[in-house]
Structure 1
């Protein structure tokens, strides 16, 4: 009897210890999942809390117009609601001494197709000549290299309403109607037969399609997630501006296209090809034309131009040197296998070639600003050695061909690179 009681006590103690060990194991697993989710949120530029995520993109930036630009963004997460969302940000520029802000909200009207209706009000700056696709995924960088040297901005107050819809996980779309009051921060006049427009209003419809035919997707608790990053990927966008709609000043249209293709094993040696093109017709002001994403400061010597290289920018092309109403750029990058110096120290060399071609009709309509055309074809080549020290590396690029400059040093760009992955 005694032995039986002792045996039962032993079994109970063993079961209790096993249960406690099991509970500790589960708790450790939960903590590990929470930590991974937290690091992933930080990598995407969020500091997560229970119901809200702080948007870190607005914490600290610098450009030539605002100098230091600082602020904070906020948006609701799925714990707050999976049917409604609110997003906002407020920033301040120390050189222009102005606040900029945005307030937006969305409601999901169909879960199966991830269909959302959104509305927003924004009072901020935009880079003249830049193009952003509506369907682009959120991109977060610790700092944006090109932004440091941009000087040509225009103010805009934009009211917008949009519809997001996924026909399939591989085909996502967004359509937006917006009206914007635009005021360039630089001296500019758009000369049309009726008058010279120094500030103006646009009312436009923009529609974009993101097609990823070779990617794979799986359903999760938070929606469809891409589990295989397949290539090539294609993005199309059409914009139509209507004159006299909500006091709009111009009729013009734009068609933009981008494709990205990767070949090889991204953990070893691989190549990346990016093709971007756009065409605009009608009365298109400079603010809505195209540049080729230049990233070279307008200073005399190589050392004075020493800055940080962008991810997909033309490093030897000077800011505001070219604008086009029709353009195409081709970029080829070949990533050599990382140099396996130690388990943690693995620098990587990247060979780069970029080409741009463009043209512009009636450049004389754009007054008080001087720029060239890309009709002869612009070429630069070079290399990067990345992750030499705490994510920093070095970049060397050389400008040659039709737009080769008389002074040899003006064709050279020598810069930092910065690559960090959480």
Structure 2
């Protein structure tokens, strides 16, 4: 009787547990486990886990861990791996975590051919097999499925390699952080993780029309004091460097470079292939292929592929490494492993990947980065509603019903579990906050005082011909004051002209969210009174930094400007945005600048007053960016950016003098060309209607800028060319050493070729040409008497450059050449430029 009661109680308890565990997939259990080698106890990567009664399946990731969801009909699992005996396991209702050991299979090597090493032959069994892999890529590619869903777990780590011993003893109360290190992940080294991020996401893909959606529903990451560290930018940058990888892509994007895949369409031109052995596991037969680059300096991998011989010729495992001679800087070691499993339809689906990089210089290892990903719960037949794809392609929608620890498919190591608490403890230390404050001042030029930060430091002092010595005090608000309201401003004083200048801007969010985060919706207003070089736009930073005090060609022509602006910005989730503004400006010529009237050259135009209404439509599909407050910088990928801008000048109010219309269309795009590097193309076309003084027309921008979407010119003078119908083009190309990597001796220097060109073509209407119209102003003249502004003739203005990059890993040298209009006075037709350029 007692035994019957106990048995009944167990059944009742089990029933209650099942009721409490009900999820949308009724009567499903989440089973985690680890597969190891029975003799060595090492984890087995890519081991298959198959259900007997159900088509569900998965495989172990780079840490030997698997995660599978089972329903009540599943009673038995089969574990298998290449080179190991298959093992069956009977599932019980109480199973939640398994540790499975697989025995090695005797004589798994079918054939091994040992031959005398000789000259490599392009036609051999290995290349014939690669041909079959390439021919079957389309059938095996996951993205060929019209509708697809899967879950993904990502873990990104970044930190120091072998922290200096002094950090553990000489940093006072911060020393504890450097004593807790990982000694198991990299043999013979200590790793100190500074940043850890974990994401669990739902991923949806549709082919017709092509749509992608990633919804992050659980996230955890280390964060430092936001006053000094822009945590979202760290996350964006690391996710950009360590992007998800698929061996079926033509190229693998890694560290801002494209490495040709060993199964790319033209891979045989760049790789050599060798059959290592053939392996059998159960009914499946695989061939292990070794590959290596024909030229070790090119952006290529070496490693191994495991290819199935079931008629699909799919890749089950891939191990990729980078040769030490490869033309890549600041990387001492690189390893990438990809694992795939075959679903019930016979398609090889990626279930895990791991990327591990050691950064350093020479024999010194300094930093490391790692990305581990696990993909699971594939559904290749799910029909996804259209509204799922609305909004941004990547959204964070954190679930309040689940904790990361409850759904994490791969458990953290004991060391990783302490990272979060260690960083929190470090953030609480006053000494660490002081260290961050000093670093922020040196790196960004701002000093935080809580709700405000003062700076930038480099704009504190400036010297020019008009103001003499100039002092400026500025600052901006931080999120500690408000995330929905932002303000910035400065007050400046010139000792020569004895005048104060000022600027103030504010932005207020209209969507109840942070004014800075995407997608944003806010109103902004600004007022500014300052002097500007002609062609410079109003704004907080207008190019008058400390370092601009030492330019050789110092400007002597200025505009005393008073500006008022009211604007509105609305960003949609699909990266389409609409911005509008109304700007009133008053400009007075000062210094050597004169606006002599064409109707009477003895008279000058005292001021140029405009009222400008601007509407800009911008579309940047899949754009990623770094941001600080309202300023954003695009992370350059292959997606184009389009912009259409319309301006309307209104006279008759606020003393506005001019009616005009202007239309500008711009596009920018990066073209990745595999082994030929990449090129950046920018184009702008526009037209201005109206009779206007030439400062309101189009002039080439001579301000050097790293903005992806702005075209700047290096060999023109300020105000040299003007037009009201214009086309601007620029192209910059980086070959990444494609040519120099083939040259003996020179290839050891790891130089990289760069070249580019700029074009400006335009026409000046008769009503705006001072030689034909009596309603405008004459082009201004230099103090020596020659005219400094010109209308273009029949040919466009052209300039170009060639150069070498990666000199000593930090320098870039360029030779610039001006192809035409070389007769203009006081210009430079050619010059060399040496600059710092840090790149991998």
Category of TM-score, reference length = shorter chain: 0.7 to 0.9
Does the Cα contact within 8 Å between 1:357 and 1:378 map onto a contact in 2? yes
Does the Cα contact within 8 Å between 2:485 and 2:508 map onto a contact in 1? yes
Matched, 1:284 2:702: no
Q: Which residue of 1 aligns with 2:452?
A: 52
Q: Which residue of 2 aligns with 1:314?
A: 713
Per the TM alignment, residue 334 of structure 1 is displaced from its structure 2 partner at its CA by 0.9
Within 5 A, what are the aligned runs for 1:174-193?
174-185=579-590, 186-191=593-598
Per the TM alignment, residue 368 of structure 1 is displaced from its structure 2 partner at its CA by 5.5
Q: Which moved more, 1:109-118 or 1:31-40?
A: 31-40
Q: Which residue of 1 aligns with 2:731?
A: 332
Matched, 1:358 2:765: no
Q: 1:323 aligned to 712, 722, 733, which one?
A: 722
Structure 1's 24 and 168: CA in aligned 2 closer, same or farther, altered over 3 A? closer
Matched, 1:164 2:569: yes
Any idea what SS the aligned residue of 2:729 has? strand
Does the Cα contact within 8 Å between 2:576 and 2:617 map onto a contact in 1? yes
| Counterpart-to-counterpart distance in 2, 1:68 and 1:393 | 33
Does the Cα contact within 8 Å between 2:459 and 2:545 map onto a contact in 1? no
Per the TM alignment, residue 170 of structure 1 is displaced from its structure 2 partner at its CA by 0.7
Any idea what SS the aligned residue of 1:206 has? strand
Matched, 1:173 2:574: no
TM-score, structure 2 normalization: 0.39
Per the TM alignment, residue 244 of structure 1 is displaced from its structure 2 partner at its CA by 0.7
TM-score, structure 1 normalization: 0.73
Cα deviations across residues 24-53 of structure 1 (Å, max 9, x unaligned)? 464348899998999789766644442113
Structure 1's 274 and 81: CA in aligned 2 closer, same or farther, altered over 3 A? same
Does the Cα contact within 8 Å between 1:202 and 1:241 map onto a contact in 2? yes
Structure 1's 358 and 119: CA in aligned 2 closer, same or farther, altered over 3 A? same
Within 5 A, what are the aligned runs for 1:3-14?
none
Per the TM alignment, residue 256 of structure 1 is displaced from its structure 2 partner at its CA by 2.5
Cα deviations across residues 368-388 of structure 1 (Å, max 9, x unaligned)? 613212242111122244565
Any idea what SS the aligned residue of 1:202 has? strand
Per the TM alignment, residue 269 of structure 1 is displaced from its structure 2 partner at its CA by 3.0
| Counterpart-to-counterpart distance in 2, 1:235 and 1:44 | 29
Q: Which residue of 2 aligns with 1:103?
A: 504
Q: 1:27 aligned to 425, 436, 442, which one?
A: 425
Does the Cα contact within 8 Å between 1:398 and 1:412 map onto a contact in 2? yes
Structure 1's 314 and 118: CA in aligned 2 closer, same or farther, altered over 3 A? closer
Cα deviations across residues 296-315 of structure 1 (Å, max 9, x unaligned)? xxxxxxxxxxxxx7655322
Does the Cα contact within 8 Å between 1:54 and 1:75 map onto a contact in 2? yes
Does the Cα contact within 8 Å between 2:815 and 2:831 map onto a contact in 1? yes
- Answer 1 or 2: which has greater strand percent: 1
Q: 1:264 aligned to 667, 672, 679, which one?
A: 672
| Counterpart-to-counterpart distance in 1, 2:571 and 2:804 | 39
Cα deviations across residues 99-138 of structure 1 (Å, max 9, x unaligned)? 3211122222223652222222110123324568x9xx99
Q: Which residue of 2 aligns with 1:83?
A: 484
| Counterpart-to-counterpart distance in 1, 2:616 and 2:437 | 30
Larger Rg: 2
| Counterpart-to-counterpart distance in 1, 2:427 and 2:674 | 29
Structure 1's 213 and 46: CA in aligned 2 closer, same or farther, altered over 3 A? farther
Structure 1's 99 and 76: CA in aligned 2 closer, same or farther, altered over 3 A? same
Per the TM alignment, residue 85 of structure 1 is displaced from its structure 2 partner at its CA by 2.0
Per the TM alignment, residue 58 of structure 1 is displaced from its structure 2 partner at its CA by 2.8
Matched, 1:379 2:798: yes
Q: 1:71 aligned to 442, 448, 472, which one?
A: 472
Structure 1's 65 and 322: CA in aligned 2 closer, same or farther, altered over 3 A? farther
Structure 1's 329 and 398: CA in aligned 2 closer, same or farther, altered over 3 A? same
Does the Cα contact within 8 Å between 1:41 and 1:47 map onto a contact in 2? yes
Any idea what SS the aligned residue of 1:287 has? helix
Q: Which residue of 1 aligns with 2:212?
A: none
- Structure 2: tracts of 5 or more residues without a match: 1-179, 181-413, 514-518, 771-775, 781-786
- Structure 1: tracts of 5 or more residues without a match: 1-16, 296-308
Does the Cα contact within 8 Å between 2:459 and 2:544 map onto a contact in 1? no
Q: Which moved more, 1:411-420 or 1:323-332?
A: 411-420
Does the Cα contact within 8 Å between 2:453 and 2:476 map onto a contact in 1? yes
Structure 1's 236 and 47: CA in aligned 2 closer, same or farther, altered over 3 A? farther
Structure 1's 358 and 21: CA in aligned 2 closer, same or farther, altered over 3 A? closer
Any idea what SS the aligned residue of 1:315 has? coil
Cα deviations across residues 192-246 of structure 1 (Å, max 9, x unaligned)? 79x963313212212223320242589xxx9x99778452112222211111111
Cα deviations across residues 337-376 of structure 1 (Å, max 9, x unaligned)? 27999xxx97654212111101212321322613212242
Matched, 1:397 2:816: yes
Structure 1's 315 and 120: CA in aligned 2 closer, same or farther, altered over 3 A? closer
Does the Cα contact within 8 Å between 2:462 and 2:546 map onto a contact in 1? no
| Counterpart-to-counterpart distance in 1, 2:806 and 2:461 | 23
| Counterpart-to-counterpart distance in 1, 2:750 and 2:493 | 39
Per the TM alignment, residue 263 of structure 1 is displaced from its structure 2 partner at its CA by 1.8
Q: 1:119 aligned to 520, 525, 530, which one?
A: 525
Within 5 A, what are the aligned runs for 1:190-229?
190-191=597-598, 197-216=605-624, 229=637
Any idea what SS the aligned residue of 2:695 has? helix
| Counterpart-to-counterpart distance in 1, 2:558 and 2:453 | 29
Q: Which residue of 2 aligns with 1:13?
A: none
Structure 1's 114 and 283: CA in aligned 2 closer, same or farther, altered over 3 A? same
| Count of aligned residue pairs for this structure pair | 382
Structure 1's 154 and 40: CA in aligned 2 closer, same or farther, altered over 3 A? same
